[in-house]
Amino acid sequence: MKTNESALDRALRAGVGVLALILGIVVGAGSVPGIILLVVAAILLVTAAVGFCPIYRILGMATNRTTP
């Protein structure tokens, strides 16, 4: 599995993921909006940590310069 995210993409995903995590906790982890925010946060933080986005692979795109 090659990385398909640039450093900027990964940083933005991590920042938005942390924000979604905080909002999910503030809204309430047991409420539907809170659960949705926590799931979004988890997806963003995992893809930022790994550097791979499955949706980019499906669409045949990449934000880093090393992947054709």
Q: How far apart are CA 6 and CA 39, in angstroms?
A: 23
What whole-number distance in Å separates Cα of residue 55 and Cα of residue 64?
Answer: 14
Query: What length does the chain have?
Result: 68
The reported pLDDT for the residue numbered 41 is: 98
pLDDT value of position 68: 55
Q: Which amino acid is at 7?
A: A
Tens digits of pLDDT across the chain (68 residues)? 789 999 999 999 999 999 999 999 999 999 999 999 999 999 999 999 999 999 999 999 999 986 55
Residue pair 4/56 in contact (Cβ under 8 Å)? The answer is: yes
Q: What pLDDT does residue 2 have?
A: 87
